[in-house]
A and B are shown apart, each in its own frame.
Chain A
């Protein structure tokens, strides 16, 4: 089945490293996108193809993959990084699916 599992929440102090995981069998053969969504705003892609960073996204955002788990890492988290983060992947037939989302708290 196509299911992506994320922790519901992650909390770090400013300057620490935040790691958010996304697990699912499909990730062994499919790429993941990571979205950041701040309150009242549309989502923004922060990582695509597991580890590629779009232009304009700070270097402190990085992604990695190992087997059926991908990880979004925010090195030196800032208060402005506080948001909901979602992983997303697509099946072979282009059907898409999101993880349940992770609330990142930086304080």
Chain B
């Protein structure tokens, strides 16, 4: 079954870090790339970053550069998004998607609250 399965919801305090996983199955993970997209409650879609799973090359939103790290483990066919220095403005549902956006994970809600 072709799918992206993300880790569960997280609640973090301001200043903390969060790491969200995205496990791919049913296709050749290393031949593809993944995007990460987030959506704050009631707001629009925001592109977060991208990783080429073949060589680990990454691109990050300038807005999040410096706090964001996207990695992958090809043996585990899993991608990871790590965001540090969390603020309440980072509260959102985080999605992973394939390079053509034809397959999406179910989303991971990250809530930042003191």
Contact, CB under 8 Å: B95 / A101: no
Q: A: which residues have CB within 8 A of B?
A: 33, 35, 37, 42-43, 45, 48, 54, 84, 86, 88, 93-101
Q: Which of A48, A84, A98 contacts B47 (CB 8 A)?
A: A98
Task: Answer whether A86 and B44 are a contact pair too, CB < 8 Å, given A48-B100, A94-B50, A95-B59.
Answer: yes
**How many chain-B residues does the 8 Å CB contact rule pick out?**
19
Mostly helix, strand, loop or mixed at chain A's interface? Answer: strand
CB-CB nearest 10 A-B residue pairs: A96-B47, A42-B104, A101-B44, A98-B45, A94-B59, A86-B45, A45-B101, A100-B44, A97-B47, A95-B59
A49 CB, nearest partner CB in chain B, Å: 10
Contact, CB under 8 Å: B102 / A88: no
How many residue pairs, one in A and one in B, have C-beta atoms under 8 Å apart? 46
Question: Which residues in A have their C-beta under 8 angstroms from that of B95?
Answer: 42-43
Question: Which residues in B have their C-beta under 8 angstroms from that of A86?
Answer: 44-45
A97 CB, nearest partner CB in chain B, Å: 6
Contact, CB under 8 Å: A96 / B106: no
CB-nearest residue of chain B to A42: B104
CB of B79 closer than 8 Å to a CB of A: no
Contact, CB under 8 Å: B59 / A43: no
Contact, CB under 8 Å: A43 / B101: yes
Contact, CB under 8 Å: B101 / A37: no
